[in-house]
Amino acid sequence: MIRSSAPTRIDFAGGTLDIWPLHLFFDNPPTLNAAINLYATVELKPRPDKRIVVFSKDLNLRVDFSSLSAFPERHPLNLILKTVKYYAPKKGLELTTDCQAPPGSGIGGSSALNIALHGALNAFASEATDSRRYRKNQLIEIARNIETQVISVPAGWQDYFPALHGGALSVRPGLSGVDFKRIPLDLGEMTRRFVLCYTGKPRQSGINNWEVTKRAIDGDKKTIGHLKKIQQAARDMENVLFNQSLAGMAPVFAAEWKARKALAPGISTQEMDGLIRCAMRKGALAAKVCGAGGGGCVAFIVKKDRKDQVEEELRKQGGQVLDFRFVQRGLRVQNF
């Protein structure tokens, strides 16, 4: 059996601008994020025949196909099936997938699962051919391209990097590709200064990154103005983090959130706004909705020694506080 796992992430600044070609219009700003210990996992067992069996614990959905050629064109597990088909295993297999991130939480659960899936299938294929097929940077490119096929619009880069590499990262798109740089932060201290609260599955009113991209391409001045503020917040956040100034994170975190909410007001619900107000009264310094929003998670930066009070207030207001910590580890693939 092969067991593969990859972490989810909290995004700090620069999201949306990680989508091609949007980042090219804003001088390739970085995206800042860090891996957390809510993992996506994939277990792969070879079969003696050519059957492909997939069980998604998240969706409570099990499917069984006689072979790769029996895969349908469309399916609720299309991302998994397309990825399996890409690796074209010579033998049959059984895949079980799971993710500790709540559904629609905005912390990169689907991308973490995607990377864990590629890790398991890459290891399985390399055993069959007696050599590793793809390097880490290739896995990201393949994963993003398959996701783009599935969602039918350009996919961003940022979620794949913490899932693959772990730690706190500056993801840096450029003219010749996308790279990253590790940020030397005290992840234990970071954990003591962050709270993550889940508010429920998102609605359809969060950020539609493709609509934002199209408006920017069409020259919409308001959209471009908001994206320029996100661009500046990303560069400011990068400076703050590389200077290891956790105290300096909060005002930039708040500025990024203000610009993001102006870009797409539906990113925040009334419930989220209420939770943010209550948390601020108890010791939160800044907050932002994770990912595309419209529901999902809110991340809070809190004053020293006020984390417990903020968490208690969020629970009192009906939020689900997630127990997490920032982690250095990325993709892990184990053979049993």
C-alpha span between 108 and 35 (Å, rounded): 10
**Mean of the per-residue pLDDT values of the chain:** 93
Looking at residue 91, what DSSP letter applies? S
CB neighbourhood size of 260 (10 A) = 24
Amino acid 136: pLDDT: 86
Amino acid 317: pLDDT: 96
Amino acid 229: pLDDT: 98
Amino acid 115: pLDDT: 97
Amino acid 325: pLDDT: 98
Strands 284-289 and 93-99: unpaired
CA atoms within 13 A of residue 277's CA, in its CB half-sphere? 8
Residue 91 · residue 75 · CB < 8 Å:
no
Delineate the domains of the chain, giving CATH numbers in brackets. 2-183+328-335 (3.30.230.10), 187-321 (3.30.70.890)
DSSP H/E element including 224: helix 221-242
Amino acid 132: pLDDT: 54
Residue 157 · residue 173 · CB < 8 Å:
yes
DSSP letter for each residue of 35-86: EEEEEEEEEEEE-SSS-EEEEETTTTEEEEESSGGG--SS-TTHHHHHHHHH
Task: Write out residues in the chain with pLDDT < 50, as ranges.
Answer: 130
Q: Find residue 196's DSSP bridge partners.
A: 299
Which of 235, 232, 221, 234 lies closest to 263 in space, CA to CA? 221
Return the beta strands (E) in 208-296 as ranges: 284-289
